[in-house]
Every structure is written in structure tokens, then in C-alpha cells.
Amino acid sequence: MPKSKGPALPEMTAEEMTLCLVRTGRSRDVASFERLFVHFGPRIRSFMLKRALDGQLAEELMQETMMMVWRKAALFDPQRGNASAWVFTLARNVMIDNLRKAKRPEFDPTDPAFVPDAPETPDINYEQDETAVRIRQALATLPEEQAELLRMSFFEDISHSMIAEKTNLPLGTVKSRIRAAFSRLKAALGEDR
């Protein structure tokens, strides 16, 4: 003898679903909404449970879905689809929104990403100043054209295509000269790696 899965769910025809949904949307007919709730509530809960959600969460999401049906019923257009598909699309969207919220980490003010960096020490400022002096000295050893290309590219943050336009050089030439200048600059800084 097959086991019963529980009481049979109330049935509604597609026409009845559409009519109840339209009445709920147009005139806020509570009796029509109650019929939709009795029909769809258990089905939506089952839909949520099949997606590995626990019983309490499935119940909450079903309630949220039915509230959305109440709020958005006026948006339902029977010419564009059937009532059941529309309601289950809302249920699916509610479930996806819930999953997204669950994956989003809580705000933690002690998270290192939110803690300001410590103020720079004088040693760091000195090292940065010393590095800047070394770069200026190394740039001075380069031919003027190469030094200018590096200044435009790295210090003025001008794109290679804009540099080519400004200097009336082909883009490939600009790129190869910048690479050559960068290699010479690294050698002058003693960073041959």
C-alpha cells in the first residue's frame, strides 16, 4: 500500500488562478487572495523545501512570496503568461534574494579592510624621498627622448596611444622605446632581475 504524503492540496483551474490574481490586483479582493494563498502557500513551501531550505526558512520565504503576490498582483498580465508561472517566478526571485543575502558577509568594523592604515613613520618618508632622488638621477642618465616618454607614460599617466599622437610617432615605436627606456632605467637603478 503506498504511503500518503499528507492531505491533498486544494486544486484550482488555471482560469480560477488567473481570475483570483486579477481580482486581487485590481480590487484588492481579500477572498480571492485567500484562495490564492490556500492554493499556492503549500506548493511554494514545498518548492522551497526541495531546494534544501529548512522548514522554518521555507515557511518564511513562502510568507514573503505571498506578500509579494499581494503587493504586485496588479502587475500580472494574463495576456503575457499564466498565473502559476508568475507566482512561482516571484517565489524563485524571493529564494534567490535570500541566498544572496545569506552569502553577503556581515559588516565587521574590526575587519582589517576597514581599519585605517597606521600613519607613516619618518623612516618611510625618508625611504620614499631617497627612492625619488634615485629615480630622478637614473632618469637623468637616459637620452632626453626616452626620459620624456617615461615621464609621460609613468608620471603623467598618459596612454601610449596619446603619447604616439603627441609625439607624431607610430604606436609600436612608442611602445618599443618606452620598453627600452624602462630597461635602461632599471639597469641604472641596479634592478636587473
What are 87-108's pLDDT values in tens digits? 999 999 999 998 888 776 666 6
What per-residue confidence (pLDDT) applies to 132?
A: 76
What per-residue confidence (pLDDT) applies to 67?
A: 95
143, pLDDT greater than 90 = no
Average pLDDT of the chain to the nearest whole number? 83
Q: How would residue 83 be classed by pLDDT, with cut points 50, 70 and 90?
A: very high
7, pLDDT greater than 80 = no
Nearest one of 147, 181, 175 to 162, comparing CA atoms? 175
Instruction: Quickly count: other Cβ atoms within 10 Å of residue 64's Cβ.
Output: 17
What per-residue confidence (pLDDT) applies to 31?
A: 93
Helices (H), 73-167: 83-103, 122-140, 144-150, 160-167
Fill in the amino acid letter for 116: P
114, pLDDT greater than 50 = yes
- What is the C-alpha separation between 31 and 128, in angstroms, rounded? 75
What per-residue confidence (pLDDT) applies to 37?
A: 94
29, pLDDT greater than 70 = yes
159, pLDDT greater than 50 = yes
- Go through the domains of the chain in sequence order and give each one's CATH number: 14-103 (1.10.1740.10), 136-189 (1.10.10.10)
Residue predicted with more confidence, 120 or 30: 30
The DSSP symbol for 46 reads H
Measure Cα distances from 47 to 54, 76, 87, 122, 167 in Å: 12, 21, 12, 63, 66
What per-residue confidence (pLDDT) applies to 36?
A: 93
- Mean pLDDT in residue range 175-179: 89
pLDDT in tens, 39-71: 999 999 999 998 867 889 899 999 999 999 999
What per-residue confidence (pLDDT) applies to 118?
A: 64
- Mean pLDDT in residue range 119-133: 66
